[in-house]
Structure 1
Amino acid sequence: MPNKGGIAVKNIMPMSYKNLVAAPHYLASQVGTQILGRGGNAMDASVAVSAALGVVYPHMTGIGGDAFFMIHHKGTISGFNGSGRSGHLATREYYLNKGCNAIPGRGVESAITVPGMADAWWEVWSRYGKLSWMELLQPAIEYAEEGFPISRDLHHWMVTDEELIRASEPMSRVFLENGKLKNPGDRLVQPALAASLKSLQLDGRDAFYKGALMKAMTEAIGRDGGLLREEDFHRHHGEWVEPLTVNYRGYDVFEMPPNSQGFSALMMLNMLENADMGKIPRHSADFYHLAVETIKQVFTERDRYLTDPLFAADIPMEKLLSKAYAKELFAKISKIDGAPMDVKPHLSPVLGQDTAYAAIVDAEGNGVSFIQSLYYDFGSCYMAGDTGIIFQNRGSYFSLDADHVNTLEPMKRSFHTLMPAMISKDGALYALLGTQGGEGQPQTQLSLITGLLDYGLTIAEAIELPRWVYGRTWGMDNDVLRMENRCPETEEAACELAFRGHQVQLFGSWDRIMGQAQGIVIDGNGLRSGAVDPRGDGMAISS
């Protein structure tokens, strides 16, 4: 297809008829390629890559966090929800009695949901794996034990969170040397994390949820004033789920069901199907206006309903994903007529950002689209004792308002930002894609999918399109449309959008506020093309 985006591609786009791995850190991509080279399948490789990312990208992800996997195997697409539930002691009253009006964003009291990642690895491997469990965790253990060079992205967040790192003695032992932060390229060794991963390697998932490692974590949490207990870990199990899907321009797009926000991207696509997007210039004010106003309508619906479905009286998913309802919502968008508009904001609660997304396709046609996170950068910034495990602070997103749909209750899953995606065409796998960045995840997916299906771009071109993010994301507490200022049309579009009533802020050409996306596309001849985000430290590797 012709390149209608008018952009210069910043990095190469590997192609293969066999294996392809695209991950946000080059060492993790190499691990995936090695596993595939040993005869493992895409599911084996996804577990190994996921574990490696938890070591080499500890600011974004780790065994103390959650993970979602979407798997294409023999023509069937399934999903695994590896998100954890709040502990049985985690109640609104606990925080309200302490005078809190919100759950703390950092520290042991923000680490109130059981990490689901280790269980997710075990389930994916148990159902689909070909290689041994021990083989899959060995690369991560070696990187934790022997060390690896600190990347630019990891160092940026080490600097950003230096005060929090210094406040934690276990984290200081990892990230400081002679009282100073380590530098880019310095060797980062994590012996305590290596020991924890070895326990998991030897004893399987039970090491994390029932064994000595679990006891070490819960004893530290209890001693430090946290709320997770042994029974919370004993109780944890992720679940296999059926992905949600809508058809967009003849392609079937798949997302994870609640508690994931995946359905929001499907709603956006349904709405934009009412416009001839291919005739609207991608860098124009008209494009951004339609995208942002669509996002506002969908986020209103998302924030009204999204929570753990086991605690919701009704999430009307059939209605939310119907074409008829999309047409109703689309009709509410102010028209494109060049005149000033009554543009209204939509303010969601502020979401965390740090996430790692990766995609893998093997020679047999299996594909895995998976994403994992600690929620904020370095999660809770709480490391449990001598385990080397940084806990997520996903539970800090729960509300203390009893009437809020996402109110805190014991043994409940929170509204979850993680949303890996897949696309098929006539039953054949076409694309795997996803991105980092809380509130930005459905927005960047919208950019990628319209880039592929409306503007005829390659996956590399779609990832490298100038991006935007609307709303209260990445810790910024205001209603602003943030746009990358990279092509000549951007400033013109920004001026026009401001005239129409949008609050616009221009950012740098490749700003990390836009997150890091990865993706793989498979054409009708079986050719795989992969790309990673230039904003990160990743690599797409074919074999």
Structure 2
Amino acid sequence: MKHLFFLVALLSLGSTMQAQQTQKPPLHGRHWMAVTGKPLAATAGSMIFQKGGNAVDAACAMLAATCTMWDVLSWGGETQALIFNPKTKKVIAINALGVAPTGATPEFFKDKGYNFPPEYGPLAAVTPGTPGGLCYMLAEYGTLSLKEVLAPAMEMAAGYPIEAQTANSMERAKDRLKQWPYSKAVFLTHPGEKREAPEAGEIFVQKELLATLTKMVEAEQEALKKKKSRKEAIMAAYDRFYKGDIAKEFVRGCQEQGGLITEQDLARWKPIEEEPLHVNYKGIEVYKLQSWTQGPMLLQSLNILENFDLKGMGYNSPQYIHTLYQTMNLTFADRDFYYGDPYFTPKTPINGLLSKAYAKERAKMINPDRNDPDLLPGDPYPFEGKSNPYLQLMKEHQSLTDTSSQTKPARFVPKHDAASILNTPASEEMYAANEIDSAYMDRLWRGTTSVEAADKDGWVVSITPSGGWTPACIAGHTGVGMSQRLQSFVLDSALCPFNVIAPGKRPRVTLTPSMALKDGKPYLSFAVQGGDTQDQNLLQFFLNMVEFGMTVQQATEAANINTNQLWLSLGGTSIKERMPHPGSILLNSNTPEATRTILKKMGYTESFSERTSGPVNAIFLDTAHGSLWGGSSNHGEDYGIGW
């Protein structure tokens, strides 16, 4: 078998060397780069750069535009960001994730018959974080006014030609949207007709959202007239959203429809600027957000993979795929049990989890010849000089998993991306043949968007915003869709003692921007949509460049694998719907037959798709030539512009 491994590895490397052409051209720029989930939103970023704004200004404009376009998120969602500040030479982390509202306790949801907080509707909402996160980033690190930065989004709210992907998602979700009067009024522009959602190319108008954004800009401009500073004026707009008339209407609309969010919840919430986490991989410092995201899973994976000769294995050779899969299973096991809001107790043992010594011990657990379906969370506490208080709870955690009756995922395209992938309106019929498996995979891949920006002065921004995706419940007459992120909490400690829901607490989210420095200078800024697959795909993107010498565009388009041996973070109403699928692996349809045969013998259950990664967006900072390279995957509608 070793000879076959070597042969397939050589074939894999050969195909990589030949794959110089990409389906989308790489982007090149000298002055700035803007990449995000929608072409019009990338244009919004370019407009701000052309006005003289920096990368933070442009990123905020793209964030506002994607929210206005409902690019699998809205204004009531959450924002997570990494920013490289060239003045301090440091990476800054922005935590603009909302919190569980007053009354959101395990008992509340259990009394209503829930095993997890619901997927949809007002009871799925955390407090909105994106308006506050945008205002904070702009005030602290941008240069332009809120009025200038929101101008493209406001013009779009007044009416823009809607694209097929979003319009079709509204049509598919129309039965659910009709449950919420404010959503119905916004999204279903042709009530009573066969197609009630907008058509592709139709001018989609959001008068109430425009009124909300106008109120924020008015607050800023009034403050400027009173001789307030630029920062103070932007934060006056922040206050109007979280403490003024916008907040009152948001809460009224939320509670009218059965939600829990109070005015005090909004007034108490604040974005947090915090220290990012990072590890060194072969001389490259890789940065992620803290354990309120799944981001440290990528860092743990890099620590483990340092113990293997990945380049020698060959890109997507059987042994490489196996090593990646086993590594990700180890780190997902840790994520699923240990990650949670670091501002609450118990606190994630993050120093132990990111210890190189801990990674070496975890690496020893990888069987080079077979998949291990029973990989458990490790014990990082001794690597912090402590004793683990959760050993008994870990046994209970494992006992919750009974995979004997599970079906295996088949060929899959995420519902929210089907229209753009197939270039036709998606229909429910395409999933009917495999309803259970498609539902599982859709929850695994449930998406967001990403925003990447960089400029000639050294500012670099990576954002993975999300929440309030279609079908979104709009809060009153604000035009703002509420987040659905509450579903990422658990109600029982045996699932994850660090992520049990509590008022004021942040759920552990899948959202995970990334940044890397080399020799103290920005090297890569990268992010992707795709639920639990995000850090799987970002890990492989990073290795594609660092280990296999791909360009940034080649790396975004390269074939990835996905593991399903993890607890889902989104969707599902039962333990069974969220539990791991051991040995289940998603491979690219072009995977060689020899590789498929070897992986089957190693205990894998294979499924295949032409799409094995969410749309990766990235910027490579070419310090050797003083230029910027932009990469945007050939999946979905993600797009970039550089100059």
SS of the residue 1:205 aligns to:
helix
* Residue 239 of structure 1, CA deviation: 0.5
Corresponding residue for 1:18?
31
Code of the residue aligned with 2:600 in structure 1: it is A
Code of the residue aligned with 1:483 in structure 2: it is L
Equivalent residues in 2 for 1:119-518, closer than 5 Å? 119-150=132-163, 152-179=164-191, 180=195, 181-203=197-219, 204-336=237-369, 342-344=372-374, 353-374=446-467, 377-378=469-470, 381-402=472-493, 404-405=496-497, 406-471=499-564, 479=581, 481-489=584-592, 491-507=593-609, 509-510=610-611, 514-518=613-617
Give the direction of change, closer, same or farther, for the CA distance of 1:297–1:488 in structure 2 (3 Å limit).
closer
Code of the residue aligned with 2:629 in structure 1: it is S
SS of the residue 1:309 aligns to:
coil
Give the direction of change, closer, same or farther, for the CA distance of 1:343–1:497 in structure 2 (3 Å limit).
farther
Give the direction of change, closer, same or farther, for the CA distance of 1:352–1:115 in structure 2 (3 Å limit).
farther
* Residue 100 of structure 1, CA deviation: 2.7
Distance 1:271 1:402 in 2: 27
Identity across aligned pairs (percent)?
28
Q: TM-score, normalised by structure 2?
A: 0.79
Corresponding residue for 1:63?
75
Give the direction of change, closer, same or farther, for the CA distance of 1:341–1:54 in structure 2 (3 Å limit).
closer
* Residue 365 of structure 1, CA deviation: 1.4
Deviates most, 522-531 or 209-218 = 522-531
Asked whether the equivalents of residues 249 and 453 of structure 1 are also in contact (C-alpha less than 8 Å), the reply is: no
* Residue 506 of structure 1, CA deviation: 0.8
Asked whether the equivalents of residues 31 and 49 of structure 1 are also in contact (C-alpha less than 8 Å), the reply is: yes
Deviates most, 438-447 or 88-97 = 88-97
Larger radius of gyration: 2
Corresponding residue for 1:538?
638
Q: Residue deviations 1:82-133, cap 9 Å, x none? A: 011111221222222223332221111111x111111111111111121111
What runs of 5+ residues in structure 2 fail to find an aligned partner?
1-13, 220-236, 377-400, 404-439, 572-576
Corresponding residue for 2:430?
none
Task: Confirm whether residue 102 of structure 1 aligns to residue 195 of structure 2.
Answer: no
Asked whether the equivalents of residues 4 and 456 of structure 1 are also in contact (C-alpha less than 8 Å), the reply is: no
How many pairs does the alignment contain?
531
Deviates most, 96-105 or 80-89 = 96-105
Code of the residue aligned with 1:461 in structure 2: it is Q
* Residue 352 of structure 1, CA deviation: 6.9
Asked whether the equivalents of residues 255 and 261 of structure 2 are also in contact (C-alpha less than 8 Å), the reply is: yes
* Residue 534 of structure 1, CA deviation: 1.6
Distance 1:411 1:217 in 2: 18
* Residue 183 of structure 1, CA deviation: 2.6
Asked whether the equivalents of residues 326 and 372 of structure 2 are also in contact (C-alpha less than 8 Å), the reply is: no
SS of the residue 2:34 aligns to:
strand
* Residue 162 of structure 1, CA deviation: 3.2
Distance 2:73 2:111 in 1: 32
Distance 2:318 2:47 in 1: 45
Distance 1:342 1:106 in 2: 35
Asked whether the equivalents of residues 92 and 409 of structure 1 are also in contact (C-alpha less than 8 Å), the reply is: yes
Deviates most, 167-176 or 130-139 = 167-176
Give the direction of change, closer, same or farther, for the CA distance of 1:526–1:402 in structure 2 (3 Å limit).
same
Asked whether the equivalents of residues 333 and 375 of structure 2 are also in contact (C-alpha less than 8 Å), the reply is: no
Distance 2:500 2:451 in 1: 31
Asked whether the equivalents of residues 5 and 461 of structure 1 are also in contact (C-alpha less than 8 Å), the reply is: no
Distance 1:104 1:5 in 2: 47
SS of the residue 1:217 aligns to:
helix
SS of the residue 1:386 aligns to:
helix
Distance 1:465 1:429 in 2: 23
SS of the residue 2:82 aligns to:
strand
Q: Residue deviations 1:430-474, cap 9 Å, x none? A: 110011111111101111110010000011000101122222657
Give the direction of change, closer, same or farther, for the CA distance of 1:165–1:345 in structure 2 (3 Å limit).
farther
RMSD in angstroms over aligned alpha carbons?
2.3
Corresponding residue for 1:47?
60
Give the direction of change, closer, same or farther, for the CA distance of 1:103–1:351 in structure 2 (3 Å limit).
farther
Asked whether the equivalents of residues 5 and 282 of structure 1 are also in contact (C-alpha less than 8 Å), the reply is: no
Asked whether the equivalents of residues 245 and 254 of structure 1 are also in contact (C-alpha less than 8 Å), the reply is: yes
Task: Confirm whether residue 81 of structure 1 aligns to residue 180 of structure 2.
Answer: no
What runs of 5+ residues in structure 1 fail to find an aligned partner?
none
SS of the residue 1:328 aligns to:
helix
Distance 1:172 1:255 in 2: 38
Give the direction of change, closer, same or farther, for the CA distance of 1:482–1:343 in structure 2 (3 Å limit).
closer
Distance 1:534 1:352 in 2: 17
Code of the residue aligned with 2:598 in structure 1: it is E
Corresponding residue for 2:418?
none
Distance 1:485 1:353 in 2: 19
SS of the residue 2:562 aligns to:
strand
